Amino acid sequence: MAESIVFDNVSHVYNQGTPFAFHALKDVTVSIPERQITAIVGHTGSGKSTFIQHLNALMRPTHGKIHLFGETITADSKHDSLKWLRKKVGMVFQFPESQLFEETVLKDVMFGPLNFGMNEEQAEQIAREKLRLVGLAPEFYERSPFELSGGQMRRVAIAGVLAQEPEVLVLDEPTAGLDPYGHDQMMRMFVDLQKQQQLTVIMVSHQMDDVAAYADHVMVFERGEKVKMGTTRDIFNHSQWLKDKQLELPHAATFIQKLETALGRSISNAEAIPLTVEEVGQLLIREKQRIEDWNEGEGNV
């Protein structure tokens, strides 16, 4: 069986012991499969960012335990004893390009590896490798990161995270603010990286089309609680439940539901509502075939 990252009754209280105490995570118990893509969805303020910051011990639980890489993290874990986690878990925050700071693209990506104790030569080699991986051409490496386009800057920032060679990659709305083309390119880049390097990817997303197309599992947060976790298909099959939570369905599913309402009959199987444009295509071809078969049958009578 695949290993997992396990949260065992994890709570996080901000400003504990003050009048401003705020319970941002409440008794979260969940198991995240390794080497797969898990999406985290939920409204603003539901605790998604708080949750992911526990994955590299930027935050520690106020109560409960986290098990990962054979270790256990609790409120008592010492800050210094968790440094290794920063390397194993790469964190791409929202708008990561805002954290670029070096004179050149290459130096920016080398910063992490140098910080983790590599020599200049090794750091440069790995920086070049990761820049190539995120699709940035060598002509940019000696330029200032601030001369690049928004999408290119973000690639540099992501190369910087990859340069620490993490096993887990955490993405907090990684495509926010990109144009549709840049968005698709970047999502495909993450999926390719995940496959090539067998990474565990945990991705916060508001875009249900991405969740449907790329995630293996989905975790739903509401007011600090994990209210559902399942395979992507599983979660979207609960379409009424999602609507009740005011969460969207992928456009493919909405399209078919509207079509079914207009036709006054169902053409999809309730257990397999289409999640992607490709699945809508398959469904419509099947439906066309069914109608043709039926018409032929009528003609024979």
Ligand X SMILES: Nc1ncnc2c1ncn2[C@@H]1O[C@H](COP(=O)(O)OP(=O)(O)O)[C@@H](O)[C@H]1O
Residues interacting with ligand X, by CB under 6 A? Answer: 14-15, 22, 24, 42, 44-50
Residue 52 CB, nearest approach to ligand X (Å): 8
Name the residue nearer to Mg ion (CB basis): 49 or 254. Answer: 49
Name the residue nearer to ligand X (CB basis): 15 or 240. Answer: 15
# residues contacting Mg ion (CB under 5 A): 2
Q: Are 235 and 220 in contact (CB under 8 A)?
A: yes
Residue 49 in the binding site for Mg ion (CB under 5 A): yes
Residue 49 CB, nearest approach to ligand X (Å): 3
Rounded distance, CA 193 to CA 142, Å?
A: 24
Residue 224 CB, nearest approach to ligand X (Å): 7
Measured CA to CA in angstroms, residue 184 lies from 126, 137, 171, 210 at distances of 26, 19, 15, 9
Residue 253 CB, nearest approach to Mg ion (Å): 25
Q: Which amino acid is at 114?
A: L
Which residue number has the CB closest to Mg ion?
49
- The closest alpha carbon to 224, from 53, 15, 22, 7, belongs to 22
Q: Is 88 exposed, middle or buried (0-12, 13-18, 19+ CB in 10 A)?
A: middle
Name the residue nearer to ligand X (CB basis): 14 or 255. Answer: 14
**Backbone Cα Rg of the chain:** 22
Residue 57 CB, nearest approach to ligand X (Å): 16
Q: Two tokens at 139? A: 């002509």
Name the residue nearer to ligand X (CB basis): 61 or 274. Answer: 61
Name the residue nearer to Mg ion (CB basis): 49 or 74. Answer: 49
Rounded distance, CA 268 to CA 73, Å?
A: 45
Q: Which does 45 bind (CB under 5 to 8 A by kind): ligand X, Mg ion, none?
A: ligand X
Residues that bind Mg ion (CB under 5 A): 48-49
